[in-house]
Amino acid sequence: MGTGLTRFGRRMRWVPSGLTRLGKQFSTSVCDNNPPAKSFNLYTAINQALHIALETDPRAYVFGEDVGFGGVFRCTTGLADRFGKTRVFNTPLCEQGIVGFAIGLAAMGNRAIAEIQFADYIFPAFDQLVNEAAKFRYRSGNQFNCGGLTVRAPYGAVGHGALYHSQSPEAFFCHVPGLKVVIPRSPREAKGLLLSSIRDPNPVVFFEPKWLYRLSVEEVPEHDYMLPLSEAQVIREGSDITLVGWGAQLSIMEQACIDAEKEGISCELIDLKTLIPWDKETVEASVRKTGRLLISHEAPVTGGFGAEIAASIVERCFLRLEAPVARVCGLDTPFPLVFEPLYMPTKNKVLDSIKSTVNY
């Protein structure tokens, strides 16, 4: 299996089949020559990934508020019936307790897959994630770890969520050594990245763009596969400006790239996929080619992860930059209800920033 898959100029590594964990085998390849695939939306792809995780690992558990009967977004539908209520079960409405229990379960060598019903509700569990999960391995000198922990949480705008059902808190967790932060953009990516997160030997916070749960539909391989963490993907090649984003914002940015192309501007679009640790090399190589960088995310602009990307690229590519790094992000306000269209980093905002950066 020494061959490689070339996609958008990056070589994705094949890992020999037969990788064993907890006595089970699973494939790390993205696809076979002609893998069976079906058209799935994002929540169905998540459900399929959870099904595979439970089926291939007898020490995997899925739990959270209302997951026993499918959860509010139906991502866990059918799992309790298939695997039993001892492996898929409801918890009290206590996020701190959910994550604390998950840390203990993972520390005993299990795969703890905890669901936080909305990312907005993750803050009561902040201490458990930051002071316990992230530091478990370090403080014990690698004698103990909770690397089997994965925390799933729907994040971002949904069109009517307002203050407490629309937030994008990823930057809080990107500031914490010991955690990985992963955000998929589509059903195929969601399945492969979630399986990688569950099987990764480190605690992972996995944010799912709830706007796309039903809107995003594509062909998804039905077999067990994983996509590599910490490898960004160039999903659109260009020469005038580099755009970097993640999650649901990628579709907005891609629309802006299409409109910019009509005006003679060639945009390179990168999906970061893993925010921590993020793929600096791919972004740097692109910016060295284009000389310009635009970052876009739904979270408020101040302290957003876009600022970290901007600072890193300025350090690495200062003499190659033709314009200041641009950020098109959410506003520095609580997430609004009726004013959501004004808050969001829309296609037109991204397009205006592309033009102003290229014409700087």
Active site residue 160: no
Which one from 65, 95, 189, 298 is the annotated catalytic residue?
A: 95
If you ran DSSP here, which 8-state letter would residue 335 be given?
P
Which one from 165, 189, 208, 254 is the annotated catalytic residue?
A: 165
**Cα–Cα distance for residue pair 85/259, rounded to 1 Å:** 50
* Non-local CB neighbours of 129 within 8 Å, separated by 6+ positions: 99, 122, 151, 173, 176, 179, 203, 205
What does the CA dihedral 310, 314, 316, 321 come to, rounded to 10 degrees?
110
Active site residue 95: yes
Long-range contacts of range 275-281, CB-CB < 8 Å, 24 or more positions apart? 275/170, 275/174, 275/181, 275/182, 275/183, 275/246, 275/305, 276/173, 276/174, 276/179, 276/180, 276/181, 277/180, 277/230, 278/230, 278/232, 278/309, 279/230, 279/231, 279/232, 280/312, 280/316
> Are the beta carbons of 127 and 95 closer than 8 angstroms?
no
**Which residues are identified as catalytic?**
95, 165
